[in-house]
Structure 1
Amino acid sequence: MTERQESDSRKLLGRLRDTLAEEGPAQARLDHITSLIAESMSTDVCSIYLFRDAETLELCATEGLNPESVHQTRMRLGEGLVGRVAKTARPVNTEDAPSTKGFRYMPETGEEIFSAFLGLPIQRLGERLGVLVVQSKDKRQYSDDEVYALEVVAMVLAEMAELGAFVGEGGTLSAPHQRAELFRGTMGQEGTAEGHVWLHEPRVVVTNPVADDPVAEAERLTEAVDQLRYGVDRMLSRVRPADTDQRDVIEAYRMFANSRSWMKRMQGSIASGLSAEAAVEKEQTAARTRLESVPDAYLRERLHDLDDLSNRLLRILSGQGNETGAEMPVDPILVAKNIGPGELLDYGRKLKGIVLDEGSVGSHAAIVARALAIPLVVHAEGISTEALNGDHILVDGEQGVVHLRADENVVTAFRDKMAMQAQAQLRYAGLRGQLAETLDGSVVAMHMNAGLMADLPSLKSSGAEGVGLFRTELQFLVRNQMPKRSELKAIYERVLDAADGRRVQFRTLDIGSDKVLPYMKPNDEPNPAMGWRAIRVGLDKPGVMRMQLQALIRAANGRPLTVMFPFVAQLDEFTEGRDQVLREIDREAALGHVLPERVEIGAMLETPSLAFAPWKFFELADFISIGGNDLKQFFFAADRENERVRRRYDTLNVSFLTLIERIVARCDATNTPVSFCGEDAGRPLEAMCFAAMGLRALSMRPASIGPVKHLLRRVNLIDARAAIETAREAGEMSVRPAVVEYLKGLA
């Protein structure tokens, strides 16, 4: 841009700022804006389209098109050139719009006489708000300088929309961050919670998108970048030489923080009239747009680094963010785009609930949320940009639904639901000391899943008879470096102390798939859930397994020890793991250490292949735990992280129950204890069916023990089995309708 063009751009932005500050209706403000832009750019048309909903754009203001088409002309996302700009978040610049592929003629606008077309997205940090369009009768391509100038204008419009400048007429012109909003996500952890939003990384609100003094703004940017670089250098200086992966990440940060091209682009935006904050956000928005279209995992990660650096820079410039002294509410519900397990553990049990834009049901955050029994909803897309600190929020983890700023009727209904749940929990508490004994005299052992020391008090309060699954990987995931054997031994010792004689099944390190250690180089696998994970890693990297086994043996210190290998697919994997345990026992004996009173070595049956393993497997295993979450996804070939397919297949499908029945029969034939562990074990209806198929031990989250026990004590497993058999003989795909009918007869 020439100095004159920069001056013209600053004048236009100044006039826009004055217009946006004017009193009066939003529509008049929008109309004035389109006139100013058309006049400044010497174009025949300027139009602003805003999103009416997630899929629909509406013409909200125009200079040059038929004024009667305002609030009447609408188009779907991807429809026409305007819809294409909105969908791709990329400009369309053509000298002959009617002949351009995808053009859609809107007769009510009268735009057929205009040839040249330039459309740009109005967006802010990935949140698409609308499209800004200029058109001309002459056939001409808009220049790069004109495109850049309009990008700057679009940026200012996005910032002003964020501040509520367009609140007023029309469905598209409502107040941001004030409406009641409903988000439908996915259940990550059951439970309901009411509270107020606490943003993990609060978005910075840019209140001054336009600046009068580019020299002063450039100086502010330079000072802030210097501070950012100093902070990154300090981070780097604190990294130990051995932590090469962590050093690589911070070095990438350092490279971006010292990037001349990044700095030059931001300085160019300031010269055109943007404030330092708006210039940073303009670059950040462009980076996020590029991020969405980059298939390469490494480049995507680097663009994430740039996004994070931009956030840090914005907080320095604006002084905004949690670290500036904002107080957490007494009933905080954490809202974030995503979050790591260590960060989540820092918050601890003070959180009432968690809502994530991204995340997954098997993510580290979900594992920690389950361990802490905090309601969690994942895939609540857009909530981290819509929510503000302090907003009232309702989280329904069971339905995967979040109500933000809900109206009074919704709040009342939600509180009624929470009250009913609280009453039910009191009823279940009365069963704490009683057995899960069915009416036909069958007794089902109730165990709990755990992974943190914070879980262990639930052993007593829930009435669990022991720990059916202790996830040892959490101690590895929340650290920035490999834990030492002495640290692991101390943790396992405290777990056994807290169990106070109750049985604890320690699952050896289950990493890989979605559980990647921060200090472990990730493997770019096409299908990580079926890749190098769990016992496969342990057998290929025996040093880590040996260290963990030594820690477990020493922690037992004369007490019984139970070790369980995850993701065993065939006999030789189990025998290799079992032999490793026995070798470590011999080694510890040779060193003169106290040995466990007895050692039980078992396996998690999570792959269909293991159900058909040789008899020797069932004879060698001291116990088997059916890992329902993985077994179900592999049995149905349905990724449990894929929303399109994971709900398609029912746990009570006849085929799946027949597989469970076969596993139980083989275990009975070899006198091998067998249990079922997973989310479905904690669902009363499913738990009853598992018991009817012969399972006499279940392991679940502590909060599920009461509801499951309550149902089991009311049913006769012989009658429940008869209902299942009737459905099976009738050729039904699922036994669910049949067992629901059986339960209705109990009422």
Structure 2
Amino acid sequence: MASKGGGQERLDHIVTLIAETMETQVCSVYLRRDERTLELCATEGLKAEAVHQTRLRVGQGLVGQVADRGLPLNTANAPKTPGFRYMPETGEEVFSSFLGVPIQRLGESLGVLVVQSSEERAFSEDEVHGLEIIAMVIAEMAELGTFVGDGPMAMAAPHRFPFFVRGVVGQEGVTEGTVVLHEPQILVANPVADDPEAERRRLHTALHQLRGEVDRLMAADGVERGSEALEVLETYAMFARDKGWIARIETGIDNGLAAEVAVEKEQSATRTRMAKMTDAYLRDRLHDLDDLSNRLLRLLAGEAKTAQAELPKNAVLVARNIGPAELLDYGKKLSGVVLEEGSVGSHAVIVARALAIPLVLQAAKITRQALNGDTILVDGDEGLCHLRPEETVRNAFHEKVAMRAEAQHAYAALRDQPALATCGRRVTLMMNAGLMADLPSLVGSGAEGVGLYRTELQFLIRSTVPRRRAQAELYGRVMDAAKGQRVVFRTLDIGSDKVLPYLKPQDEPNPAMGWRAIRLGLDRRGVMRMQVQSLMRGANGRPLSVMFPMVAQFDEFRAARQIVLDEYAREQDLGHTVPESLEIGAMLETPSLAFAPDAFFELTDFLSIGGNDLKQFFFAADRENERVRRRYDTLNVSYLTFLGQIADRTATHGTPVSFCGEDAGRPVEAMALAAMGINTLSMRPASIGPVKHLIRRVSIEEARRVIDEARCSGAQSVRPAVMAWLADQGITV
């Protein structure tokens, strides 16, 4: 395998040696030609003319099953094995026994290595294991492009050709940058080692360093005894000392593998098991083992994790997934983020939006395709990524960037102008925030205040509950940065997808509709009281606006409101400075609250419609589920009518109402919301310019007429009518 020669020559030599050593009539190597196709690339024993002619789909035949499942298939009678597919051009009908093992790297199948014999026999465990070792080395060589050559072997070389993937929009924006892998791939130049003892010593030196890292994590100040975080780290430490895990790696080394390849072989097996695991707890534990393998590989290769100081200009972070604290560590030094996993409501998305970093989620196979230093184009508007792009793609992308820059220049000119429609209706545009990094955008975006400050982010990025003083100092700095403009603080919205690292997660079948937000706060009143006290002390005599998330019933709001009033009275009794004025509001995120008694609308000081949650509950469509979330339109007649009813009811009682969520930041949707009577909108800072630009060019009253006509026509959505009306006026959005 280490000998010189072309790709075809090496493969031919490999299959001949294996067939001779294992005393089988056949040895064949099938490699992936593309995502779903396997090609016979070398054989000893089958018809030579079938090489590079025989192809089959992944999952087709016994070879395809091995590639699809990522597991060996060992049978004494192949023709009678379910799934067998006869390939007449190969002449394999005379061979009965079959052993196929996947050629895989990090859980991804690159091909299949097969041996066959005419006599019926099941191959021994030792033979299966030996063939797996060889397959692992072939995988490493394939990853390095060893088998790519001229003629029939002109297959796609890994990490050299353009790669395109369509993911999910996490945060809008476009950027061109340089790939920085959160977990860099380790490419091993020589997968075979001549000195197993030396490799064992390297392994145990790295394991000693790994255990030291884990012990330091456990001893950190933020990890409290008896906490959930400590339990996770203790499991981590057990894995790092697991004799079975280490023994399997050592077996690979004893069979001639370099230490890195032996670790990767075990890691591939772990990832294969993860893909088939249905139990969430066990899957998480296997993820822990996968993460340990990554750490061990970096130590073996002598590669430290990319330090922030070493980030290249216009760095684009590429990762399978990432937590909010880790993303904040990189901070604004990133120009974009691409994740292989993740969801639109995840903590990383919230942080990326706060940092105004373009983000694409669920970009399949991006971590396998990308290498540090690759050029990448990230289109957060469409959820697209171009890795190592062709010149024509790059030129088209540059044109889009130039158009966006021109539009942003036009929006900046409107910064100090009001969102005043041609009919004289004025719409108040506010911004959402959750980090101190958001606040500089308050002035630059032209926002008229903060309509939603997410207080939970301070809790999510820490390993322990922030103390009262730390909370009060943060809230005080937020109000300082607002320079007198209104800031609406939302109390803790935790639970569902926002699980605090120090709060034991609840085993709930549907957490989005479970123990979360105000429900959790009313059950854990000590946490709510501490936060309310912190908010009042942070206000330090200034006006304070507080609202409660996920209110479903009047009694919930009344109980939470009373806690605030009690803490206000307590602060007065203690002689502390109390807010100059106090507004207590609620978020309408469940349809039930729209039908609350009149007393609710009279008691609450203001109401904020939480559009993200309200829409998913209204349509019974999980916004984390890509199969259904895009099927339901904000301009659906039923939904708009419902929002109009809320606006009418709040107007009757004189209750100020606003709309907060992604839809508020989309110009056409924002115009429609204003037309339905919601005159205050809160959105991410970057959306204020585009929304203001449209509102200042249209008549809100005329938009309402167009919407009402479409509603009366029996249409399911008013969008076609609204877009046609805008087009008639020469307005493109």
Alpha-carbon distance between aligned partners in 2 of 1:562 and 1:723, rounded to the nearest angstrom: 36
**SS of the residue 2:430 aligns to:** strand
| Aligned match of 2:115 | 134
Contact 1:80 / 1:104 at 8 angstroms: preserved in 2? yes
Instruction: Give the SS at the match of 1:366.
Output: helix
Aligned counterparts, 1:254-293, within 5 A: 254-293=237-276
- Structure 1 residue 363 and structure 2 residue 346: aligned? yes
Which one of the candidate residues 285, 294, 315 is aligned to 1:332?
315
SS at match of 2:645: helix
**Among 80, 88, 105, the residue aligned to 2:69:** 88
**Which residue, 516, 520, 527 being the options, matches 2:499?**
516
Q: Tell me the residue number matched to 1:13.
A: none
Any idea what the Cα deviations from partners look like across 1:686-728, whole Å, max 9, x if unmatched? 1111111111010001110010000001111222112212221
Question: Match of 1:196?
Answer: 178
Match of 1:213 in 2: 195
Structure 1 letter corresponding to 2:2: R
Q: CA deviation at 1:616?
A: 1.7
Residue 34 of structure 1 pairs with residue 15 of structure 2: yes
Shift in Å at residue 74 of structure 1? 2.2
Name the SS for the 1:389 alignment partner: coil
Question: Which residue of the partner structure matches residue 4 of structure 1?
Answer: none
Q: Distance in 1 between matches of 2:398 and 2:152?
A: 33
Distance 2:548 2:457 in 1: 16
1:571 counterpart = 2:574: no
RMSD over aligned Cα atoms: 1.5
1:414 aligns with 2:402: no
Distance verdict in 2 for CA 1:325–1:66, change over 3 Å: farther
Match of 1:7 in 2: none
Stretches of structure 2 that go unaligned for 5 or more consecutive residues are none
Alignment counterpart, residue 356 of structure 2, candidates 357, 363, 373: 373
Matched, 1:505 2:488: yes
Q: 1:128-207 counterparts in 2 under 5 A?
A: 128-168=109-149, 169-170=151-152, 173-207=155-189
| Partner Cα distance (2:452, 2:98) in 1 | 62
> Which is worse superposed, 452-461 or 33-42?
33-42
- 8 Å contact kept, 2:308–2:330: no
Return the offset for 1:243: 5.9
The equivalent residue for 2:476 is 493
Query: What is the CA-CA distance between 1:736 and the residue it aligns to?
Result: 0.8
Q: Deviations over 1:413-441 (max 9, x none)?
A: 10110000000000011111111111111
Q: For residue 123 of structure 1, what is the aligned residue in structure 2?
A: 104
After superposing the two structures, state which structure 1 stretch, 605-614 or 47-56, moved more: 47-56
Residue 101 in structure 1 maps to residue 74 in structure 2: no
Alignment of 1:278-357 (within 5 A): 278-323=261-306, 327-357=310-340
Residue 39 of structure 1: how far off its partner (Å): 1.8
**1:444 counterpart residue number:** 427
SS of the aligned residue for 1:352 comes to: strand
Match of 2:446 among 460, 463, 468: 463
Please point out which of 28, 36, 40 is paired with 1:47: 28
Q: Is residue 425–residue 706 contact of structure 1 (8 Å, CA) maintained in 2?
A: yes
- CA drift of 1:326 comes to 9.2
Q: Secondary structure at the match of 2:629?
A: coil
* Aligned 8 A contact 1:569 1:610 in 2: yes
1:391 corresponds to 2:374 = yes
Alignment partner of 1:114 is 2:91 = no
Assess if the C-alpha contact under 8 Å between 2:311 and 2:333 holds in 1. Answer: no
Task: Give CA deviations for 1:360-402 in whole Å, capped at 9, x if unaligned.
Answer: 1111100000001000001001111211111001000010000
- Quote the Cα distance in structure 1 between the aligned partners of 2:460 and 2:67: 39
Note closer, same or farther for the CA distance 1:55–1:668 as it changes in structure 2 (3 Å cut). same
Q: 1:683 corresponds to which letter in structure 2?
A: R
Partner of 1:3: none
Cα 1:396–1:77 shift into 2, 3 Å: same
**Matches of 1:137 and 1:707, distance apart in 2:** 71
Alpha-carbon offset, residue 332 of structure 1: 0.4
Alpha-carbon distance in structure 2 between the residues aligned to 1:325 and 1:595: 42
Aligned partner of residue 321 in structure 2, secondary structure: coil
**TM-score with structure 2 setting the length:** 0.97
1:630 partner letter: D
Shift of 1:636: 1.1
Q: Aligned-pair distance for 1:219? A: 1.9
Amino acid at match of 1:504: V
Count of residues in Structure 1 that have an aligned counterpart in Structure 2:
728
Moved more, 341-350 or 611-620: 611-620
CA distance in 1, matches of 2:31, 2:601: 64
In the alignment, the residues of structure 1 paired with residue 298 and residue 47 of structure 2 have an alpha-carbon distance, to the nearest angstrom, of: 43
CA offsets 1:601-654 (integer angstroms, 9 cap, x no match): 111111111122222221111111111111111111111111111111111111
CA drift at 1:210: 0.8
The normalised TM-score by structure 1 is 0.95
Once residues 613 and 166 of structure 1 are traced to their aligned partners in structure 2, the CA distance between those partners, rounded to angstroms, is 69
Structure 1 residue 59 and structure 2 residue 44: aligned?
A: no
Distance in 1, matches of 2:229 and 2:112, equals 40
Question: Is the CA contact (8 Å cut-off) linking 1:204 and 1:321 kept in structure 2?
Answer: no
Residues 185 and 377 in structure 1, CA contact (< 8 A), matched pair in contact too: yes
Which of 704, 714, 717 is equivalent to 2:697?
Answer: 714
Q: Distance in 2 between matches of 1:446 and 1:30?
A: 65
Counterpart residue type for residue 151 of structure 1: E
* Residues 381 and 644 (structure 1), Cα distance of their counterparts in 2 relative to 1, 3 Å cut: same
Give aligned-pair identity as a percent.
64
SS in 2 for 1:647: helix
Q: Does 1:233 align with 2:215?
A: yes
User: Would you say 1:253 and 2:236 are equivalent positions?
Assistant: yes
Q: What residue ranges of structure 1 are gaps of 5+ in the alignment?
A: 1-15
User: More deviation in 559-568 or 29-38?
Assistant: 29-38
- More deviation in 652-661 or 169-178? 169-178
Quick one: which amino acid aligns to residue 497 of structure 2? D
Q: Secondary structure at the match of 2:673?
A: helix
Aligned residue type for 2:367: S
**In terms of mean alpha carbon deviation, does 476-485 or 262-271 score higher?**
262-271
